[in-house]
Amino acid sequence: MSFWTAVVVLFAIACFTWLRTQKYKALGKRGHDHTAREHELEREVEAMRKRVAVLERIATDEQRGKDLAHEIEALRD
Protein backbone atom coordinates (compact mmCIF):
# COMPACT_ATOMS: atom_id res chain seq x y z
CA MET A 1 0.00 0.00 0.00
CA SER A 2 1.43 3.34 -0.95
CA PHE A 3 1.56 6.38 1.29
CA TRP A 4 -1.20 8.21 -0.62
CA THR A 5 -3.49 5.19 -0.56
CA ALA A 6 -3.10 5.06 3.22
CA VAL A 7 -3.84 8.79 3.45
CA VAL A 8 -7.03 8.38 1.39
CA VAL A 9 -8.16 5.39 3.49
CA LEU A 10 -7.54 7.27 6.75
CA PHE A 11 -9.37 10.32 5.38
CA ALA A 12 -12.34 8.14 4.41
CA ILE A 13 -12.45 6.58 7.88
CA ALA A 14 -12.29 10.01 9.50
CA CYS A 15 -15.12 11.32 7.30
CA PHE A 16 -17.27 8.27 8.03
CA THR A 17 -16.68 8.67 11.77
CA TRP A 18 -17.47 12.40 11.65
CA LEU A 19 -20.70 11.79 9.73
CA ARG A 20 -21.89 9.16 12.21
CA THR A 21 -21.06 11.47 15.11
CA GLN A 22 -23.08 14.28 13.55
CA LYS A 23 -25.98 11.91 12.93
CA TYR A 24 -26.11 10.75 16.56
CA LYS A 25 -25.77 14.31 17.85
CA ALA A 26 -28.78 15.29 15.73
CA LEU A 27 -30.75 12.31 17.03
CA GLY A 28 -29.86 13.30 20.59
CA LYS A 29 -31.23 16.80 20.10
CA ARG A 30 -34.49 15.39 18.82
CA GLY A 31 -34.58 13.06 21.81
CA HIS A 32 -35.34 15.97 24.14
CA ASP A 33 -38.38 16.88 22.06
CA HIS A 34 -39.32 13.22 22.03
CA THR A 35 -39.33 13.14 25.82
CA ALA A 36 -41.74 16.07 26.00
CA ARG A 37 -43.95 14.40 23.41
CA GLU A 38 -43.75 11.17 25.39
CA HIS A 39 -45.06 12.89 28.53
CA GLU A 40 -47.89 14.42 26.52
CA LEU A 41 -48.82 11.01 25.14
CA GLU A 42 -48.72 9.46 28.62
CA ARG A 43 -51.20 12.08 29.86
CA GLU A 44 -53.43 11.41 26.88
CA VAL A 45 -53.32 7.64 27.48
CA GLU A 46 -54.24 8.18 31.13
CA ALA A 47 -57.23 10.30 30.10
CA MET A 48 -58.31 7.64 27.62
CA ARG A 49 -58.06 4.96 30.33
CA LYS A 50 -60.36 6.99 32.56
CA ARG A 51 -62.85 7.36 29.72
CA VAL A 52 -62.77 3.63 28.99
CA ALA A 53 -63.32 2.88 32.69
CA VAL A 54 -66.40 5.11 32.71
CA LEU A 55 -67.73 3.49 29.55
CA GLU A 56 -67.14 0.01 30.99
CA ARG A 57 -68.98 0.99 34.15
CA ILE A 58 -71.90 2.30 32.13
CA ALA A 59 -72.04 -0.74 29.86
CA THR A 60 -71.91 -3.29 32.70
CA ASP A 61 -74.36 -1.59 35.05
CA GLU A 62 -77.64 -3.46 34.46
CA GLN A 63 -79.88 -1.09 36.40
CA ARG A 64 -78.84 1.84 34.32
CA GLY A 65 -79.04 0.00 31.01
CA LYS A 66 -82.03 2.06 29.97
CA ASP A 67 -80.15 5.30 30.44
CA LEU A 68 -77.12 4.18 28.44
CA ALA A 69 -77.83 6.49 25.51
CA HIS A 70 -78.26 9.46 27.85
CA GLU A 71 -74.98 8.68 29.65
CA ILE A 72 -73.07 8.45 26.37
CA GLU A 73 -74.51 11.75 25.20
CA ALA A 74 -73.54 13.35 28.51
CA LEU A 75 -69.97 12.07 28.12
CA ARG A 76 -69.68 13.64 24.68
CA ASP A 77 -70.16 17.10 26.19
Helix (H), strand (E), coil (C) string for the chain:
CCHHHHHHHHHHHHHHHHHHHHHHHHHHHHHHHHHHHHHHHHHHHHHHHHHHHHHHHHHHCCCCHHHHHHHHHHHHC
User: In terms of residue numbers, what domain contains 12?
Assistant: 3-76
pLDDT-based confidence at residue 63 (cuts at 50, 70, 90): low
* Domain count within the chain: 1
pLDDT digits (tens, 9 = 90+) for 1-58: 788 899 999 999 999 999 999 988 887 766 556 677 888 999 999 999 999 888 887 7
Beta-carbon count within 10 A of 58 CB? 17
